[in-house]
Amino acid sequence: MATPLEIILVPTLMIVLGYSLKRHDILKVQDSVTLTKIVLDVTLPSLIFVNLSRANISSDMLFLPFFALIISMVCIILAYLFCKFRNYSKIKTWTIMIACAMMNTGFLGFPISMGVFGNDGFLHAIFFDLETTVIFVILGMLLVSVFGGNRREVLKQSVSFVPLWAVIFALVFNVFNLQYGYVLENSLNYLGQATIPLIMITLGLRLDFNEIRHSLSDSLFVSFVRLIVAPVVMFLMLGFIGFGGLSFKVAVLEAGMSTAMNALVLSINYGLDTKLMSSMIFTNTVLGLFTLTALISFLI
């Protein structure tokens, strides 16, 4: 069995590859946009559909998005208290709250959950990640109320999220035991296999060491909340209610993921502090490679 360090080194090496490709002008930062579209609209939905449509779905999985939402709310409260104590502006406060609330349970959580717990771990991670769409809508609506904007556009972005439709269609095929044939199944399998390396290379392309100079103390606070407080709270909460098994382990692992890239999308769309957001995402993504190694060691 692979050690926790070996497990985390696999995605880390692919992230380093993406960063190296950028440094040597083989790929550019802008290429990450195209790769992200390919992942979100093609390869990730394929991977989700193939695995979920044939999975044995347990009742425990259905609770995972609710647990994830609770953790996001706890992180928002902690971020608000921190910003209130520091007397931050409205823009900076919302930037930090969003960074604390939004977990990278898909782009980073999927490959790591799969690497640690195999396909079963990936299936649990899919359900946990359903919270991402919910929290995106909630935060989007709140930001529209505070800073102005178009509520319809927030809903449109959420409804057009292809991985969500992959989950819906996969559940339909699963419940009714529908078949989709050799050709389609194998085509989706091949496409799905490209997901993990593309995700990691994309993360590498987005790394920018220059951003770490901006607001280091705020970045470290968000890292502390996202990478340490969140999984500890999840562990205590699920332990208190007697929730166990693989669902427990995946929930704790996913709760320890860094800030989601979608947080930067919200930051840009609503005129928040994008430099601060970039700095926070970069800092806790890098630090997360170390905390996740420790978390994996604890869980396996």
**pLDDT of residue 1 exceeding 80:** no
Over residues 152-174, mean pLDDT: 89
Mean pLDDT lowest for which of 13-17, 150-154, 175-179?
Answer: 150-154
Backbone angles phi, psi at 156, to 5 degrees: -60, -45
Domains (range + CATH), the chain: 4-299 (1.20.1530.20)
8 Å CB contact between 100 and 229: no
Over residues 32-40, mean pLDDT: 91
Over residues 177-190, mean pLDDT: 94
Q: What percent of the chain lies above the pLDDT cut of 90?
A: 68
| Average pLDDT of the chain, as a whole number | 92
**pLDDT of residue 122 exceeding 70:** yes
Name the band, by pLDDT with cuts 50, 70 and 90, for residue 264: confident
Over residues 191-201, mean pLDDT: 92
pTM above 0.75, yes or no: yes
Name the band, by pLDDT with cuts 50, 70 and 90, for residue 4: confident
Over residues 186-194, mean pLDDT: 95
Name the band, by pLDDT with cuts 50, 70 and 90, for residue 148: confident
